[in-house]
């Protein structure tokens, strides 16, 4: 595997190449990119934004330096012209050519808008066409090589891996367009996993329009990036198995169990009505919506199918 290593910059000065903390939330702008201080999904669930655009990038002597105080950025040239994100491919290359790999300099032309370029990543993988493992972006099992603080599709910032399975991996990320944190399922670059993931997307899209009780994980979108199908979800909290373990396997009150059971039964009733079989229902696939809440949602429809369309 080949890497390009970039020293991170802070306040115009080169910093040590140790892991940098996630940017703190600083709001120097009264409005976000969509004119609101929060975001709502189709169910009306409100997600808090990471922050509004506050970072200034100053061009001096044909070199770029930047300070990071938020998840999003605005640019300021030597002539004090403000350039706001998203950037066109030409603008992105013009301002960040030294921070992009040769692969990205070509690849970025396919993306009309760029919200994040991985400029905070200490290292980047240099795509090599001669590398048989997806130009070096995959391991031998077809899993995508995750690089912390690098981008996905010039929009999402990779933070950490929060789940793994035979399908691939799930990462926690910042969506720089909506300024919110999300979970992204990156499917392995293998034909059989890709085919089943397409079924999962179809089922989730079907349920999104019919889940009036909000008992199913919310899928925001899906996209392809470097031969991987990626599915974007709302970010949830603990799963029920982890909650049981943290409670030292002592069980819960009947009142709490009743709340869990009612939500789960509503989800099962919905699946029955829509002729969908989950196929992998277990405590690990039932998540709390947020820490401290008793509201739950069912996740992981990666093994699911419509009745009569068996995939196993």
Q: Please give the full DSSP string across 146-187, using - where no structure is assigned.
A: --TT-EETTTEEEEEEEEEETTEEEEEEEETTTTEEEEEEEE
Q: State pLDDT tens for residues 177-198.
A: 999 999 999 999 999 999 999 9
Quick one: pLDDT band at residue 62, thresholds 50, 70, 90? very low
**76 lies in a domain?**
no
Q: State pLDDT tens for residues 230-280.
A: 999 999 999 999 999 999 999 899 999 999 999 999 999 999 999 999 999
**112 lies in a domain?**
no
CATH number for the domain spanning 192: value is: 3.30.200.20
* Length of the chain in terms of residues written: 312
Domain stop point among 234, 256, 272: 234
Percent of the chain scoring above 70 in pLDDT: 73
Domain of residue 294 covers: 238-306
Domain stop point among 181, 212, 234: 234
Domain stop point among 234, 251, 267: 234
DSSP code for 138: B
Tokens representing residue 207 in the block: 């349920």
Residue 54: is its pLDDT beyond 50? no
Quick one: pLDDT band at residue 84, thresholds 50, 70, 90? confident
CB burial readout 84-97, b (16+ within 10 A) else e = ebbbebeebbebbe
Quick one: pLDDT band at residue 210, thresholds 50, 70, 90? very high
**301 lies in a domain?**
yes
Residue 302: is its pLDDT beyond 90? yes
Residue 41: is its pLDDT beyond 70? no
Pairing of strands 228-234, 219-225: antiparallel
Q: Are residues 139 and 205 in the same domain?
A: yes
* 119-128 average pLDDT score: 92
Active-site amino acid positions: 280
CA atoms of 143 and 190, how far apart (whole Å): 9
CATH number for the domain spanning 248: value is: 1.10.510.10
Q: Are residues 133 and 222 in the same domain?
A: yes
Quick one: pLDDT band at residue 43, thresholds 50, 70, 90? very low
Main-chain dihedrals φ then ψ at residue 184, nearest 5 degrees: -125, 125
């Amino acid at each position: 595997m080949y890497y390009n290593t970039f020293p991170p910059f802070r306040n115009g000065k080169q910093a040590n190449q140790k892991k940098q903390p996630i940017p703190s939330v600083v709001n120097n702008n009264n409005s976000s990119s969509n004119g609101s201080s929060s975001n709502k999904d189709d169910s009306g669930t409100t997600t808090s934004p990471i922050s509004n655009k506050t970072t200034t990038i100053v061009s001096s002597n044909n070199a770029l330096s930047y300070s990071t105080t938020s998840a999003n950025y605005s640019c300021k040239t030597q002539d004090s012209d403000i350039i706001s994100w998203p950037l066109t491919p030409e603008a992105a290359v013009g301002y960040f050519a030294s921070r992009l790999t040769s692969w990205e300099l070509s690849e970025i032309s396919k993306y009309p808008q760029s919200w994040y370029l991985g400029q905070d990543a200490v290292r980047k993988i240099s795509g090599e066409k001669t590398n048989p493992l997806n130009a070096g972006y995959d391991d031998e099992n077809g899993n995508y090589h995750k690089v912390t603080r690098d981008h996905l599709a010039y929009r999402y910032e990779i933070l950490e891996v929060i789940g793994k399975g035979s399908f691939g991996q799930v990462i926690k990320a910042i969506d720089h367009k909506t300024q919110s944190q999300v979970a992204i399922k990156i499917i392995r670059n293998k034909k059989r996993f890709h085919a089943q993931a397409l079924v999962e997307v179809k089922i989730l899209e079907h349920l999104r329009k019919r889940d009036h009780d909000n008992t199913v994980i919310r899928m925001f979108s899906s996209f392809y990036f470097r031969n991987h199908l990626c599915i974007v979800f709302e970010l949830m909290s603990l799963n029920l198995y982890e909650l049981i373990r943290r409670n030292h396997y002592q069980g819960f009150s009947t009142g709490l169990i009743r709340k869990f059971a009612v939500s789960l039964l509503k989800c099962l009733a919905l699946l029955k009505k829509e002729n969908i079989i989950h196929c992998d229902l277990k405590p690990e696939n039932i998540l709390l919506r947020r820490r401290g809440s008793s509201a739950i949602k069912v996740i992981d429809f990666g093994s699911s199918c419509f009745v009569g369309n068996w995939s196993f």
